[in-house]
Amino acid sequence: MNRLKKILFSVAITFSVFAASVAQPLTVTQSSVNNYVVTVSATSPKYKLVWNTTPDSWKKAQSISIKTSPETVVLASAHPIIKFKTKKETFYAAPRGVTLKGAANFRDLGGYKTTDGHQVKWGKIYRSADISKLNDEDVKTLSDLNIKMVCDLRGEQEVATAPDRLPEGTERILLSAGSENVGGAGSYMKYMKNPNSADSMMAAFYTRTDHLAKKYKPIFDQLLALETDKALMFHCTAGKDRTGIGAAMILYALGVDEKTIFQDYELTNEFRKESNEQYIKMLTSQGLPEKSARSMMAAKPEYLRAAFDAINKNFGSIDAFLEKEIGLNSERRNNLKMKFLN
């Protein structure tokens, strides 16, 4: 880990649920296409701002000049990464979400602070919901994000009805373990007619551990094999449950604290707010009680807690699970951190 440089700052993110008690030196939010609001609250009057689209190589980064703060700047990127540098400190920021017309809940796992003061790199790991409805512009955005590996966590029935749409040259692997019998929302209807059974059914899903290694080990293997400046994206249908557990395991392996992991999980409720309302309306029109529909579509912290508790119970600890089932021994875990932390 001696090659890693400590980062003293955890970048601010888009939603207020993540507002930190300490003022953030740099925040970036998107206001419209190619327009980004940059806010600098640095204590040092001398700083440099540059932006980039590649997370590992910064030699070709372009300068940003702002006269006031906050200030809207035009950057020709769907997901710019901004570096703020003073004589003693370096910070990185980017918008949490990536706007796509044909997909919801597409967001970057970067920017989170680890317990030892590092920061997860922006622009390397993305999570999403279904990407079968991407338009041509969306596909170009994925190409611009340098996404070269997509890990599809859905079952074969889901894939058959909604195949991924990807840029040419992007590799995709199907990780359907545990999702073999999932065929969309309709497959749950018969189990959820009673509103009281909805939470129980979701908790039962999250406490399954028999398929976890087959489902998530290949993601970690692909992350370790990922090339410089290339990105990986993983997704399921809603980008909530299977994707949420995967994101939690990745962030935990990188050293992010549980509170932040759970906050990232709950962000699905914000990123899917409009989509969820449409889906809930469709489910209730088919006879599902609204309470059941809302439980099914919600990212409730108790669901992810059930998964953590089950892993701790069955494997001794999350760390033991990552080592024994995922194959992250100390060397591989250190390699993962060196690759994905600033």
- The pLDDT of residue 191 is 52
Give the torsion sign (CA, 275, 39, 264, 170): positive
**Could you give the percent of the chain with pLDDT greater than 90?**
76
Roughly how many angstroms between the first and final C-alpha of the chain, as a whole number? 11
Using the predicted structure, report yes or no on whether residue 143 has a pLDDT greater than 70: yes
Helices (H) and strands (E) in the chain, counts: 12, 12
Residue 335, C-beta contacts closer than 8 angstroms, at least 6 positions apart:
224
Alpha-carbon span 129 to 146, nearest angstrom: 18
| pLDDT exceeds cutoff 50 at 68 | yes
pLDDT for the residue 213 = 98
Q: Could you tell me how far CA 285 lies from the centroid of its own chain?
A: 31
- CA dihedral sign of residues 326, 207, 202, 298: negative
pLDDT over 80 at 145, yes or no: yes
Confidence of residue 88 (pLDDT cuts 50, 70, 90): confident
User: Tokens in use for 199?
Assistant: 């939470």
For residue 254, give the nearest of 320, 332, 314 by alpha carbon: 332
Residue 295: per-residue pLDDT: 87
What's the pLDDT score for residue 323?
98
Contact present, 54 and 92 (Cβ < 8 Å): no
H helical segments located in 232-326: 242-254, 258-266, 268-271, 273-285, 290-297, 301-315, 318-324
Is the model more confident about 184 or about 139?
Answer: 139
> Locate tokens 């540059």: which residue?
50
- Give Cα 36 distance to the centre of its chain: 20
pLDDT, tens only, 188-218: 555 555 555 667 788 889 999 999 999 999 9
- What mean pLDDT is predicted for residues 227-236? 98
For residues 283-295, give the mean pLDDT.
Answer: 88
What pLDDT sits at residue 196?
A: 59
Q: How far apart are CA 47 and CA 29, in angstroms?
A: 20
Q: Which sign does the torsion angle of CA 247, 248, 250, 254 carry?
A: positive
d(CA 134, CA 233): 14
Residue 253 tokens, joined = 């392996």
